[in-house]
Amino acid sequence: MSEQEIKPSIQLNTRGLRCPEPVMMLHQAIRKSKSGDVVEIFATDNSTSWDIPKFCMHLGHELLLQEEVLDDSGNKEFHYLVQKG
């Protein structure tokens, strides 16, 4: 399944938030969603690069996408797609 075929049901903008807020917001979004739903997360905190994969692994969710991109100003940003297990 390509990224274009994935339609997130929830989008989280956690840019500017520090650990543990992005993962806490993801946890809350996952709790409110149903099995198979996809949550899209945008973050700027480096710690999400290990926190979100570990969150998925320990709680049985699938990390569909994990990438680092540069925003319009050239700052590093993280993009994730997580499917609820």
Mind telling me the catalytic residues?
19
Residues 85 and 62: beta-carbon distance below 8 Å:
yes
Structure-block tokens of residue 30: 């996952």
Provide the 10 A C-beta neighbour count for residue 65: 14
Q: What is the largest CA-CA distance in the chain?
A: 36
